[in-house]
């Protein structure tokens, strides 16, 4: 291995020095390449591919060098983290707007939808409360969502804004009385 290394060392130094401007780091990288090659010599499939294999190790070692030495700016000590706006207030406001549409639905659909979507009740609890099996409660919630969507689309034009929140406007013709 040592004789093969000596044969390729000068070429590898050129390869590394073209990609790394810190001259002191070039020798460190070459040393890491030699250590990695010596340690993983058993992975080399054929002696004919040694040169390409050494270049691949050198390339990966250079990438590791740059990952470790990425520049960064220190943050000021008085920097305070901003509160995350998770949109809770907007969701609550939207839920209040949608409540009349949910109330217009038959109780068979409005109750599971209200429990699942507005109150965040787990579907197993909904099943117990309504006297349904878990799969029955899941189906009921899914049907409620579909019926609600149909009702909403018949009543309002809905668009999702850039901020990810919906914007609704009542339809001019044929809209419902709740909008």
Biggest alpha carbon distance in the chain? 88
pLDDT tens-place string over residues 151-169:
888 877 777 777 666 666 7
How far is Cα of residue 44 from the mean position of the Cα atoms in its chain?
37
Pairing of strands 166-170, 156-160: antiparallel
CATH architecture of 88-170: Orthogonal Bundle (1.10)
The residue behind tokens 């689309």 is 153
Q: What are phi and psi of 167, to 5 degrees?
A: -125, 125
> Where do the structural domains in the chain lie, given as residue ranges?
2-68, 88-170
The answer to whether 2-68 and 88-170 have equal CATH topology is: no
Tell me the whole-structure pTM to 2 decimals: 0.46
Cα distances (angstroms) measured from residue 17 to each of 68, 161, 170: 17, 50, 66
Fold category of 2-68 in CATH: Rna Polymerase Sigma Factor; Chain: A (1.10.1740)
Band (pLDDT 50/70/90 cuts) for residue 48 is low
pLDDT tens-place string over residues 70-113:
777 777 877 776 666 666 776 677 777 788 888 889 999 999 99
Band (pLDDT 50/70/90 cuts) for residue 53 is confident
- Cβ distance 166 to 157 under 8 Å? no
Report the chain's mean pLDDT, rounded to a whole number.
82
């Amino acid at each position: 291995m040592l004789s093969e290394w000596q044969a390729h060392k000068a070429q590898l130094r050129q390869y590394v020095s073209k990609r790394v401007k810190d001259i002191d780091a070039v020798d460190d990288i070459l040393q890491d390449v030699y250590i990695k090659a010596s340690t993983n010599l058993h992975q080399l499939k054929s002696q004919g591919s040694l040169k390409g294999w050494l270049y691949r190790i050198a390339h990966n070692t250079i990438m590791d060098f740059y990952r470790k030495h990425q520049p960064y700016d220190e943050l000021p000590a008085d920097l305070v983290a901003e509160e995350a706006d998770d949109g809770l207030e907007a969701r609550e406001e939207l839920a209040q707007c949608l409540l009349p549409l949910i109330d217009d639905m038959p109780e068979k659909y409005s109750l599971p939808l209200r429990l699942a979507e507005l109150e965040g009740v787990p579907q197993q609890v909904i099943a117990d409360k309504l006297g349904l099996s878990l799969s029955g409660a899941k189906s009921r919630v899914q049907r409620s969502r579909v019926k609600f969507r149909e009702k909403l689309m018949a009543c309002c034009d809905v668009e999702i804004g850039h901020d990810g929140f919906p914007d609704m406007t009542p339809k001019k013709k044929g809209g419902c009385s709740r909008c």
